Structure 1
């Protein structure tokens, strides 16, 4: 009887451990629409919420969504506060030194400048960008003056209040704002940065293969393109 009880206990522990391994904590910013944002019910929403839930379903994993400020999003992944980053993060060589990326789920796209005037000084003026983004790195290496903010909303506010001449960010983020605000406009030339947007995992995480397989399947059956068009509009780059 004691043997049977012990065996049953071990089986229960094993089942619990297996169930825990099937849960993946999806880290996102929750402040970068349409990629990710917090809806009126206080829940993570947006393109990456829909994508992440579908990827987890295909990989037979259970998603748990976690939000984290952008400026510490990689350190909190590597320290184990969550298992993935799915937050509009561009794939770069510098980031690949500390995390593993899936294949991209968004093709390489243009970064754009947005300003209050067509005459905004993009070469030597003050340009706002979000901290720790490829756009901030690009401006820092240019002749312009970089002013960094923790959130994308603050970069746009800096242009509206005259603190910056322009904001430089993903076109997917800026275009809807420019469409809705008659005072703001896209200026200058598009700039191609990064290798597309992908999910980041801790180095050596075996779930990377499952997520890659799920992304491949979504590309092949058209569901990824359908999601991109749903959230970013008919002009969005697709696979």
Structure 2
């Protein structure tokens, strides 16, 4: 009887600990492979899904995934619709004024131009970019005509249908699209490195939560699992830590 009571108490303690585990809502776009996308089962998938699940495990958090449109991703964080942004968001000074970032979980990576022909006019032409990205900000200040779209696939479609001379986006996003285009799309011009790498965005008041994710990212860098994950999703030539 005594053993039964002890066993029952242990089960109750374990259950209580599990119930007390903090639930965090992870906000992502679900439309930016290989960072994040929706798979055939209708679930969030990609590099950031695998990474986010591992970070939550290390931080001892229960995590739920929420998808949202990119152009409202920061306002929805601030209004409490989710607790983090994990959506291929580069760390930069402008965003850091309104949200806080963890340390980066990918190194600073190049952005690139893609067009139908190698002689596309990148300086005086029309360049497509996704709204509210570091790429759209760069084009806006570079002198070319900026054509913004809500989703990344619309930017590529604008090039294919002749609305834009080129698209400017993360090279990691564009590379598989170019490879699968059957030479219909080509990289043009020089790569441009923007931002401080991709990190998780959080409300500035959530310092404790940011600290937990920072520690989890640091542990993945230290034991090499983050580099392994980067190479899995972005290829053997990807930049690692």
1:132-175 alpha-carbon deviations (Å, 9 max, x no partner): 00000000011100000000000000000000000000010001
Pairwise CA distance, 1:116:
0.4
How many residues get paired? Answer: 226
Q: Which residue of 1 aligns with 2:194?
A: 193
RMSD of aligned Cα (Å): 1.6
Pairwise CA distance, 1:19:
4.1
Pairwise CA distance, 1:226:
0.4
Q: Distance in 1 between matches of 2:240 and 2:62?
A: 27
Pairwise CA distance, 1:48:
0.1
Give SS of 1:237's match: coil
Q: Distance in 1 between matches of 2:104 and 2:209?
A: 16
Unaligned runs of 5+ in 1: 1-11
* Residue 119 to residue 23, structure 1, CA distance change in 2 (3 Å): same
- Divergent runs of 4+, >2 A: 15-21
Q: Distance in 1 between matches of 2:198 and 2:73?
A: 15
1:16-46 alpha-carbon deviations (Å, 9 max, x no partner): 8994761000000000000000000000000
Q: Which residue of 1 aligns with 2:92?
A: 92
Q: Distance in 1 between matches of 2:138 and 2:124?
A: 13
- State which of 227, 230, 233 in structure 2 corresponds to 1:228: 230
**Alignment of structure 1 residues 1-239 onto 2, 5 Å:** 19=19, 22-181=22-181, 182-205=183-206, 206-239=208-241
Q: Distance in 2 between matches of 1:19 and 1:168?
A: 46
1:3-27 alpha-carbon deviations (Å, 9 max, x no partner): xxxxxxxxx9xx9899476100000
Pairwise CA distance, 1:204:
2.1
Pairwise CA distance, 1:183:
0.4
Unaligned runs of 5+ in 2: 1-11
Task: With the length of structure 1 as denominator, give the TM-score of the two structures.
Answer: 0.92
Task: With the length of structure 2 as denominator, give the TM-score of the two structures.
Answer: 0.91
Q: Distance in 2 between matches of 1:138 and 1:224?
A: 29
1:194-225 alpha-carbon deviations (Å, 9 max, x no partner): 01000001112111111000000000101000
